[in-house]
Amino acid sequence: MIEARRLHILRAVADHRTVTAAAAALYLTPSAVSQQLAALEQETGHRLVDRSARGARLTPAGEILLGHANAVLAQLERAEAELAAYGSGDAGTVTVAAFATGIGLVVAPAITSLARTAPGIRVRVRDAEGDESLLMVLDRQVDVAVAVEYRGAPGEDDDRLTRVPLYAEPFDAVLPPGHPLAAGERVALADLAKDTWIGQSEGNPCHDVTVLACEYAGFTLKPEHSSDDFRAVVALAAASAGVALVPRSALRGMELTGVEVRPIEGVAPTRRVFAAVRRGAEEHPLISPVLTALRTASGNGA
């Protein structure tokens, strides 16, 4: 009989690609993860993981089992949801991981709404970038992720997660004072190809959006400066350190007197934001109201 917790460990190894990283995410020791994998291989009669100096990869047998593991774990989430509903489930804590702007734009308003509509639900918030928050959901560190679409993000057909679209917003060009393109109402991205750029760190979903937008505009982005704090990005632009693309909502309420902000001409690069839960958990009586509140706060309300 295959133990469900060992399937969860197999999925963590597949997601994190090393035993050490999977162990850290699951709050286990690497030796404990290795022991559970060995036991799973004994249960199934197949070698499931190949290990090398570059990390751990699932074997073809491991990939087959992973597909079934995703279905089994989703069904267990549904079972927990139904049992919680049977026991009323009207009070408890839901942990939400979200990036800073998302916290201000949808998570905080959702908490205010839940205080009226579902006062028994307590929301605990953790600050995390989109690529981090999705793994936190899969590793059961949090219940809900508010994440950003990025290159390599799990798609809508991913059988591990259920996604709920929240909102989409354009990026605007942030220019230093006196920049020649500030004379126009809009900025063509290709016209910034030779400028010095301020970007985000690799792995940040906004970095991926910016890189792809520049590729479509015909040039390769090579930032001279980088920061994941948009206030710092604006401060650098105000100091004439370079130009940048910043999501429009991140500029709200920010001091912008030292920079010029212009929309992008044509199809602007866009940040697409969604909520994600482990598949099956969307029916949980504590999680479902939180998803509804997030959707309503984003303007996509039911």
- pLDDT per position as a tens digit, 112-140: 999 999 988 999 999 998 778 999 999 99
| CA distances, 81 to each of 11, 160, 163, 164, 281 (Å) | 21, 16, 17, 18, 6
Report the pLDDT value the prediction gives residue 87, as an integer from 0 to 100: 67
Residues 48-75 have pLDDT tens digits of: 888 888 888 899 988 998 888 888 888 8
**Paired tokens of 264:** 């992008």
Buried b (16+ CB within 10 A) or exposed e, 159-184: ebbbbbebbebebbbbbbeebebbee
164 token code pair: 């709920």
Residue with tokens 């950003």: 148
Report the DSSP pairing between strands 92-98 and 144-148.
parallel
Q: Regarding predicted confidence, which is higher, 187 or 75?
A: 187
CA distance 47 to 70: 19
- Mean pLDDT, the chain, integer: 89
User: Quick one: what percent of the chain has pLDDT higher than 90?
Assistant: 52
- pTM value surpassing 0.85: no
Confidence category of residue 187, pLDDT binned at 50, 70, 90:
very high
Condensed to tens digits (0 to 9), the pLDDT of residues 213-262 reads 999 999 999 999 999 899 999 999 999 999 999 999 889 888 898 999 99
Element (H, E) at 273: strand 270-278
